[in-house]
Amino acid sequence: MKSTYNTVAVKSWAHVSPKDWYDWRWQYNNRIQTIPQLARVLGINTAALKEYRTVVRYYPLCITPFYFSLMNVVDENDPIALQCFFDQKEIEFSLGGVDDPLEEVRDMPVPGLIHRYPDRCVVIITNACATYCRHCNRKWMWKKKIAQDKKAYLTRMIEYVSEKPVIREVIVSGGDPLTVDEGTLDWFLGSLRSISHVEVLRIGSRIPVVMPMRITKQLCFMFRKYRPLWFNTQFNHPHEITAEAARACEMLLEAGIPVSNQSVLLRGINDKYETMRDLYYGLQRISVRPYYLFQCDPVKGADHFRADIQSGLRIMEKLWRNVSGLCLPQYVFDVPGGKGKYPLYPFSDFLAKGLKTHEYFFDKKGEVN
Ligand SMILES: *Cc1c(COP(=O)(O)O)cnc(C)c1O
């Protein structure tokens, strides 16, 4: 498990006390958000990064010092760097992709609330994040002002849910919902919990990976009141399974909150069997259950991350053959146009042949193929 920091981070933040480093407020307030800030921590001249000015105008930069500290800055294919550093490819729009391929906005009966599947809805309570993932499927939203009056914006969501008895689960998402101040979050979760037909709450947050110090005792104490509360996070690479992230997940688990993982298949980052195996073994070691592996959506600005479905299926097939069932996520594709999630099954040649062909499974010596 990785928990040592890269030398650049050690040097750039040498003056920071451990007390500050492990304080999420310090991490949040010291996010790297501009080219000069990035140049400073990398110890290079701002001019060396000037070609990226256009990219950040479209898709801003945002990285916590903690997440930055996990990367090997001299490796241009570092899996952490690839997920949070800008890339010219993001603005090569000719590659294709649309801002909102899943047409989430179409399924918003009130602003920020996506009601697509009858029994559950997603609420985007903020567009702020601790770290912007370059593969984000809501990256078109980063620069939008999503609400003039936050309280009114959230109140409309609560009203909608309370008027719709078919909704039994509310998925609190964003942005990252854990960047919202604790009082507001407490009030919002409490309001949802008091609606009798809302049986389950779910939080979708990458905070355990990118700013694990945000998972405090106080936050867990608050969450505890609103169980059954499920927590979905997003680890994409074994390097992200740090001692700090493990601790954050453990605190949630100790508060009675199951933690699951939704990873995204990312070209050049985790689209290899060995990487995926190590990721899922690592998650199982910290008691985090792999839930989904997403086929990367055809989002404008994230095209270069998309691996093809066949290679994803090959990885899934090899995982099925080799690793514990508790390590296996469901590989899914969210079909553009708002058609919803579809499972992508490995062994489709077997399905095509049907169950009748006994020979499919066994060779002449009776060994499993
Ligand atoms: C993914 C998604 C959900 C949650 O689906 P699960 O399969 O329950 O994880 C809910 N609403 C929308 C719009 C979604 O895209």
pLDDT digits (tens, 9 = 90+) for 123-176: 999 999 999 999 999 999 999 999 999 999 999 999 999 999 999 999 999 999
- 120 an active-site residue? yes
From the list 21, 24, 49, the residue with the least C-alpha distance to 34 is 49
Which tokens hold the place of 182? 């604790």
Q: Residue with the nearest Cα to atom 8 of ligand 1?
A: 120
- For ligand 1, mutation pick of 157, 341, 342 (most atoms within 8 Å of CB): 341
- 121 an active-site residue? no
**Model pLDDT, residue 359:** 56
**Model pLDDT, residue 369:** 44
C-alpha to C-alpha distance for 303 and 300, rounded to whole angstroms: 6
Binning pLDDT at 50, 70 and 90, where does residue 12 land?
confident
**Beta pairing partners, 330:** 292
**Model pLDDT, residue 363:** 53
Higher pLDDT, 264 or 359: 264
Whether residue 366 has pLDDT greater than 60: no
Is residue 199 within 8 A of residue 169, CB to CB? The reply is yes
Would you tell me the crossing angle of helices 243-254 and 217-224 to the nearest 10 degrees?
30
Centre of ligand 1 from the C-alpha of residue 134, in Å: 21
Which tokens hold the place of 124? 């985007």
Centre of ligand 1 from the C-alpha of residue 233, in Å: 14
Length of the chain: 369
Centre of ligand 1 from the C-alpha of residue 106, in Å: 15
Calculated CA dihedral for residues 260, 261, 262, 266, nearest 10 degrees? -170
Residues with CB under 6 A from ligand 1: 114, 116-117, 120, 122, 171, 341
pTM: 0.94
Q: Residue with the nearest Cα to atom 2 of ligand 1?
A: 122
The domain locations on the chain are 7-92
Q: Residue with the nearest Cα to atom 15 of ligand 1?
A: 340
Centre of ligand 1 from the C-alpha of residue 154, in Å: 20
C-alpha to C-alpha distance for 221 and 4, rounded to whole angstroms: 29
Minimum-distance ligand 1 atom for the alpha carbon of 107: 13
C-alpha to C-alpha distance for 132 and 34, rounded to whole angstroms: 13
Centre of ligand 1 from the C-alpha of residue 121, in Å: 7
Binning pLDDT at 50, 70 and 90, where does residue 10 land?
confident
Phi, psi of 12 (to 5 degrees): -65, -35
- 75 an active-site residue? no
Ranges 55-59, 270-274, 351-355: which has the least confidence: 351-355
Q: How high does pLDDT run on average in the chain?
A: 92
Binning pLDDT at 50, 70 and 90, where does residue 92 land?
confident
**Model pLDDT, residue 357:** 54
Identify the three-state secondary structure at position 85. coil
**Model pLDDT, residue 237:** 98
**Beta pairing partners, 96:** none
Minimum-distance ligand 1 atom for the alpha carbon of 117: 11
- 285 an active-site residue? no
pLDDT digits (tens, 9 = 90+) for 297-338: 989 999 999 999 999 999 999 999 999 999 999 999 999 888
Is residue 79 within 8 A of residue 237, CB to CB? The reply is yes
Distances from the Cα of 328 to the Cα of 87, 225, 322, angstroms: 31, 30, 10
Catalytic position from the list 134, 297, 303, 327: 297
Ranges 36-45, 149-158, 179-188: which has the least confidence: 36-45
User: Which residues lie closer than 8 Å to 11 by C-beta, 6 or more apart?
Assistant: 43
